[in-house]
Amino acid sequence: MDEKFNEATKNRPEGDRTVDSPVVLIDIPSFIKQIKDEKAWDKNDRNSVTVFKTDKMRVVVVGLHKGAEMTTEHPDNVISIQVISGKIKLHANDDTYDVRKKQAVALHDNVPYRVVAVKKSIFLLTVTA
């Protein structure tokens, strides 16, 4: 298996990291710090870092400021969201779910959803193929 790396960019000069390897250790606290230290966090209502990516699965650390929304109307993939800090509201199937720190929610494919940050929140988004 070839290892895949995410290379540094202008916005992420320290961005070199392995995103696909037989084993990828994900240091969540350091990625949270990175998200909060970047200019994108100050300028926008969100910031995120993809920490694992294959053709079958992607794991993203996502930060949303209070009131920020993330919407997918035509989801093709099964997803899970694990809240690390904060609180979100997940709107799906005409229901609303409060998802707090240390809670997770999973959705089958083809379930449209909308995530709204009730307060500043950090979560792991896992997307499968």
- Residues 22-75 have pLDDT tens digits of 999 999 999 999 999 999 999 999 999 999 999 999 999 999 999 999 998 788
* Cα distance between residue 72 and residue 60, in whole Å: 15
* Cα distance between residue 126 and residue 79, in whole Å: 5
C-alpha closest to that of 99 among 79, 81, 125, 72: 81
Q: What is the pTM of this model?
A: 0.88
* Cα distance between residue 113 and residue 63, in whole Å: 17
Quote the DSSP letter at residue 77: S
Is the pLDDT at 3 greater than 70, yes or no?
A: no
Beta bridge partners of 72: 113
Percent of the chain with pLDDT over 70: 88
* Cα distance between residue 82 and residue 32, in whole Å: 14
Identity at 72, one-letter amino acid code:
T
Least confident of 14-18, 28-32, 113-117: 14-18
Token pair in block for residue 54: 């294959």
In words, the CATH class of domain 4-128 is mainly beta
Are 114 and 69 in contact by the 8 Å Cβ rule? The answer is yes
Domain ranges of the chain: 4-128
